[in-house]
Amino acid sequence: MNPRQVADYMFNQDYFSQWMNIKMIEVKENYCLIEMPIKKDMINGLKTVHGGVTFAFADSALAFSSNNTGDAAVALNCIINFTKAGKEGDVFRAESILVNDTRKTAVYDIQITNQNKELIAKFVGTVYKIGKKVTEL
């Protein structure tokens, strides 16, 4: 399978990403660009996007980029910095780029922006390669 086919295979089983209405814009080896509309049920008590939603969106980008070679990888450590509050009606984009790759781990930089290309959050995720194929899980 090519990277897009692997990402589609994963997405078809990822009911949480489906609930978030994630759309895959571009998928290449160790890379993805995804998009998500901000819905009313993603808003917190301060009328901004719940931080957990933003984190989960970045985590989905990490999953689709770090597994799309067909070799399974799981999150080992993730750090997020929130830079701007999102609002209902926004459209978030997450771009995941591989920055370091070793035999057992890899590090990805993920930027989340809104429809105005304003930075919403910066996420760095480290994954552990578990030694299995995505299709074996």
Taking only the tens place, the pLDDT of each residue in 34-59 is: 999 999 999 999 999 999 999 999 99
DSSP 42: G
Taking only the tens place, the pLDDT of each residue in 73-83 is: 999 999 999 99
Q: Please give the pLDDT value at position 45.
A: 98
CA dist., res. 131 & res. 103, Å (int): 10
Q: Please give the pLDDT value at position 102.
A: 98
Contact 33, 101 (CB under 8 A): no
pTM: 0.97
Confidence class of residue 62 from pLDDT cuts 50, 70 and 90? Answer: very high
Taking only the tens place, the pLDDT of each residue in 3-38 is: 999 999 999 999 999 999 999 999 999 999 999 999
The structure tokens listed for 5 are 């086919």
Q: Please give the pLDDT value at position 47.
A: 98
Confidence class of residue 89 from pLDDT cuts 50, 70 and 90? Answer: very high
Alpha helices in 1-136 (DSSP H): 3-13, 15-19, 51-66
Q: List residues bridging with 1 in a β-sheet.
A: none
Taking only the tens place, the pLDDT of each residue in 105-119 is: 999 999 999 999 999
Q: 3-state DSSP call for residue 45?
A: coil
Contact 54, 44 (CB under 8 A): no
First to last CA, the chain: 15
Q: Please give the pLDDT value at position 81.
A: 98
